[in-house]
Structure 1
Amino acid sequence: MQAMGHIILREWKRILRLPVFYIVMLVIPGLLFSFYALIYQQRDARNLAFAIWDEDQSPLSRQLIFLLQQRETLQITRRVGTEAEVKQLIQNGVILGAVHFPANMQKDIYSRHQAHVTLYTNAASLVPAKLIYKAVAEVVIMGSSGVVLQKLVKTGMKADRAMALANPVKLNSYQLYNASYNYQEYLVPGLITVGIQMILIISSMLALNYEWKTNTMQELYGLAKGSALLVITAKTIAHLVFSWVNFILIAFVLFPWFGIGVPVATGKFFLMYTLLSVACIGIGMFISALFKDVMLSGDVALFYTSPAFVFSGFTFPRWAMPWYDQYYATIMPYTPFLDAFFKVYYMNLPMHYAQADINKLVLFCAVMFPTAILLFQHQFNSSVNEQAA
């Protein structure tokens, strides 16, 4: 225990003294996480530039335009007269969408003919396009129901009966766990936690083989009495403590400052964060024990961690990915962490809902640490034989 304490203190001093450690573990997290939160400071997509192409010029089309103007999602910035003009404005990035009310729309509706309203959106901007569609669809459905309602009332039908016929099925929708489609609330925690995975794997990847680069491996060998188990255990504890420092920064500084997160689920977030941290440290130690060369280890760590956000299923469901991408997602600890994070943090469910994901994170630890110990013990023994020779 005394030797372990010496190695832990020694590792803390190295982290605080060597730029390769303190920049990655202490400086970059605060800057990077704040930058992520500031990107989505607006929180949700509002006032999306939108154009009107009104060939009908009727009281009905003016009423629909008025209703569109009341939508926070849309900001009507242009009036256009042709389809070519709509496409040109979208291509130039001036607008994100437009709606076309055809000539004789009101006349066709009143004469019981179907009218065709056309919506143009820039689907290259996927989320804004969906928000525009949602806003316009609600207005058009509301407007068409209103026309039918007026016609029925004019025939002498009672208002409640007319309403039942004009709108026979009423849809009640409830958006759970991100009702306002808040970018900051939804994306920032995900970006921060995937950043934590990368930071922890890279910093712990340097924990062992950087000793060779700084010519301090023999000193470490003497402190540990040649025990790779002692070295990896002590360094894991040292790096885990610094990961908790970043947890404090995330949960008690950044989240409250930007008004995001689910405070009541902070305890469960801490447990999942700790499991992710230990799993990432184990992977970093494994890479460090596998390759003596720091540059090669760094390349491997970056190649392994870089696609984590894409393959995790955060923005696109994993089941819709090719099987080889799904397989790649399973060999990253961020994937089960993210599944558990949604359940116990966003949804604030009990921990047993995430039991399968917890088991996967524990499996990472159970495989990576023993393998890293065996590989590093071989490095230790080899270094002694080289010194003796």
Structure 2
Amino acid sequence: MKEIEDFINKGKIKGAIIIPSNFARKLYRNENSEVQLIIDGSDPTIARTALQSGILISKMYSIKRQEKSLEKKGVNSSTIGSVDMRTKVWFNPNLESTKFTIPALIGLIMQNITVMLTAFTLVREKEKGTIEQLIVTPIKSVELIIGKMIPYILIGSVDFLIALFFGTYWFNVAIQGNILLLIILGLGFVICALAVGMLISSIAKNQLQAMQMSLLFVLPSVLLSGFVFPREAMPFLIKHGGNIIPLTYFINILRGIILKGISIKYLWKDIYILLIFGIILLIIASIRFKKRLD
């Protein structure tokens, strides 16, 4: 059970079948034998498929076993022991789509707001002609970008708390894990998403171009991050294309803490990748802005 729990919390498996030690002995004695199917219910689409498949496999196994015994012994099928599949869905027993959608929706809202806000920051300065005033100041490009981000970090953090409040109390999606850890990681994602916006702002030449580039980043993330469709069912190239989107990892964090109640022990990989994304994006944005100053 410990191994099953670890693998499900890490996202390596979506279900497990537990076969008791007396399984074969009971079947040999023509007694009913029980097996248990445990399913990760955090994704209702996958969970429903696994549930239906598990029940179907159990029934087909029992039918084939009965047919085989009838052929050999010519006995009544009612005297043949069958397999009873007992299912147990973790984290979302009723397979409610709301519990799957709301945590991811919080992350999507946060990404869209923060990227859109910062995508126009430097571009607006260029169009208004105030960028020259920033050029003559002694501050470095990194300091300028961080300074521009600070107000939006505060705005994004407040928006995250508001979205979290409505998701919890309005849609009744209870937070099973550590809420303080969730808030800290949410702040980290806000910074990472703002870095994306800053990079767009440092590349774009005007606000229209910044808007188009923002949409070019935001729209694919809806489909490739696992927000709507399970990433496990995607084609190989498309699935791995979602690996370059920070929202993919934050959705794993949100669903892990809110639905599963897991700790940082199972989330360190997603946290590490988000941290690397944030640092790389800030460095590229700083370098790009410095080149434009030259």
Which residue in 2 is equivalent to 1:278? 191
Which residue pairs with 2:178 in the alignment?
Answer: 265
Code of the residue aligned with 2:97 in structure 1: it is Y
Instruction: Give the Cα–Cα distance (whole angstroms) in 1 for the partners of residues 171 and 255 of structure 2.
Output: 20
Aligned residue in 2 for 1:10? none
CA contact (8 A) 2:114 2:194 kept: yes
Counterpart contact for 2:197–2:214, Cα < 8 Å: yes
Matched with 2:202 is 289
1:48-59 pair list within 5 angstroms = none
**Which SS does the other structure have where 1:211 is aligned?**
helix
2:266 alignment counterpart: 353
User: What displacement does 1:354 show?
Assistant: 1.0
Alignment-derived partner of residue 371 in structure 1: 284
Q: CA deviation at 1:208?
A: 1.3
Whether 2:241 is the aligned partner of 1:317: answer no
Q: Say if 1:289 and 1:375, in contact at 8 Å, map to a contact too.
A: yes
How far apart, in 2, do the equivalents of 1:254 and 1:184 lie? 9
- The AA in structure 2 aligned to 1:176 is W
Q: Tell me the residue number matched to 1:195.
A: 109
- Please state how far the C-alpha of 1:226 moved relative to its aligned partner: 4.6
Deviation per residue, 1:173-194 (Å, 9 max, x gap)? 1111111121222212212311
Aligned residue type for 1:193:
G
Q: SS of 2:87's equivalent?
A: coil
Q: Which residue of 2 aligns with 1:239?
A: 152
SS in 2 for 1:301: helix
Which amino acid in the other structure matches residue 120 of structure 2?
L
Assess if the C-alpha contact under 8 Å between 2:116 and 2:211 holds in 1: yes
Partner Cα distance (1:326, 1:270) in 2: 28
Deviation string 1:275-294 (CA, Å, 9 cap, x unpaired) is 22111111111111112222
Secondary structure at the aligned position of 1:174 is classed as strand
Residues 248 and 314 of structure 1, relative CA distance in 2, 3 Å threshold: closer
1:167 CA drift (Å): 6.8
Map of 1:169 onto structure 2: 83
1:332 matched to 2:245: yes
Quick check: 2:249–2:274 contact (8 Å CA) kept in 1?
yes
Q: What corresponds to 2:15 in structure 1?
A: none
Conserved in 2, the CA contact under 8 Å of 1:344 and 1:353?
A: no
Q: What whole-Å deviation, never above 9, does each CA across 1:136-190 have from its counterpart, x for those lacking one?
A: x89xx8xxx9xxxxxxxxxxxxxxxxxx958732222111111112122221221
Hey, what's the Cα distance between the residues in 2 that align with 1:369 and 1:195?
Answer: 21
Identical pairs, percent: 20
Matches of 2:140 and 2:212, distance apart in 1: 28
Shift of 1:348: 1.1
Aligned with residue 220 of structure 2, among 307, 321, 324: 307
**What is the TM-score of this pair, normalised by structure 1?**
0.53
2:136 is aligned with 1:251: no
Aligned AA (1:361) = L
Q: Which amino acid aligns with 2:186?
A: Y
Deviation of 1:239 after TM superposition, in Å, equals: 1.0
Cα 1:188–1:168 shift into 2, 3 Å: same
Aligned partners of 2:177 and 2:230: how far apart in 1? 27
Aligned length: 230
1:350, distance to aligned residue in structure 2 (A): 1.3
Distance 2:110 2:134 in 1: 27
- 1:216 matched to 2:92? The reply is no
Q: Which structure has the greater CA radius of gyration?
A: 1
Residue pair 1:251, 1:266 contacting (<8 A) in 2 also: no
1:196 and 1:238 mapped to 2: Cα distance? 15
Tell me if the contact between 1:221 and 1:227 (Cα under 8 Å) persists in the aligned partners.
Answer: no
TM-score when scaled to structure 2? Answer: 0.69
Quick one: which amino acid aligns to residue 368 of structure 1?
Answer: L
Q: Cα distance 1:170–1:323, how it changes in 2: closer, same or farther (>3 A)?
A: closer
Which secondary structure does the structure 1 equivalent of 2:117 belong to? helix
More relative contact order, 1 or 2 (CA 8 Å, 6+ apart): 2
Runs of 4+ in 1 over 4 A off after TM superposition: 164-167
Q: Which residue of 2 aligns with 1:204?
A: 118
Matching of residues 98-137 of structure 1 within 5 Å: none
The gaps in structure 2 that reach 5 residues or longer are: 1-43, 64-77
